[in-house]
Amino acid sequence: MSIILGIDTSCDDTAAAVVENGTKILSNIVSNQTEIHKKYGGIVPELASRRHIEMIWPVVDEALKTAGIKHEGLSGVAVCHGPGLIGSLLVGCSFAKALCYSKGIPLVAVNHLEGHIFSSFLEEPKPAFPFLALIASGGHTCLYRVDDFRKYRELGRTRDDASGEAYDKVAKLLGLGYPGGPIIEKLAQDGNPEAIDFPRAYLPETFDFSFSGIKTAVLNYVKTIPLHSELRTLNSELINDICASFQASIIDVLVKKTEWAIRKERIKRVILTGGVAANNELRKRMKEMCDERGSGIFIPSAYLCTDNAAMIASAGHHHFKASNFAGLDLNPQAYMPL
- Give the nearer residue to ligand KG4 in terms of CB position, either 115 or 316: 115
Q: Pick from 15, 19, 253, 276 the residue near ligand KG4 by CB under 6 A.
A: 276
Classify strands 151-157 and 3-8 as parallel, antiparallel or unpaired. unpaired
82 interacts with ligand KG4 by CB under 6 A: no
Q: Does 316 bind ligand KG4 (CB under 6 A)?
A: no
CB-based contact 116:273 (threshold 8 Å): yes
Please, are residues 235 and 186 in contact by the beta-carbon 8 Å criterion? Answer: no
Distance CA 193, CA 189 (A): 9
306: partner contacted, choices Zn ion, ligand KG4, none (Cβ within 5-8 A by kind):
ligand KG4
Residues within window 171-190 making contact with ligand KG4, judged by CB under 6 A = 179-182, 185
Exposure letters 302-320 (e unless 16+ CB within 10 A, then b): eebbbbbbbbbbbbbbbbb
Q: Tell me the sheet residues that pair with 6.
A: 17, 78
141-148 and 131-136: which strand pairing?
antiparallel
CA distance 63 to 223: 47
276 binds, among Zn ion, ligand KG4, none (CB under 5 to 8 A by kind): ligand KG4
- CB 266 → Zn ion: shortest distance, Å? 28
* Contacts of residue 220, Cβ cutoff 8 Å, sequence gap at least 6: none
Q: Which does 6 bind (CB under 5 to 8 A by kind): ligand KG4, Zn ion, none?
A: none
Q: Which partner in Zn ion, ligand KG4, none is near 181 (CB below 5 to 8 A by kind)? A: ligand KG4
Mention every residue, 6+ apart, whose C-beta is less than 8 A from residue 127: 120, 121, 269, 271, 296, 298
CB under 5 A: which stretch of 87-95, 129-137, 146-154, 193-201 binds Zn ion? Answer: 129-137
Nearer Cβ to ligand KG4 (75/137): 137
193 part of the interface to ligand KG4, by CB under 6 A: no
Q: How far is the CB of 112 from Zn ion (least distance, A)?
A: 6
Return the residues of window 1-20 that contact ligand KG4 according to CB under 6 A: 11
* Residue 84, phi then psi, degrees to nearest 5: 165, -165
Residues of span 158-217 touching Zn ion by CB under 5 A:
none
Residues engaged in binding ligand KG4 (CB under 6 A) = 11, 137-139, 164-165, 167-168, 179-182, 185, 274-276, 278-279, 306-307
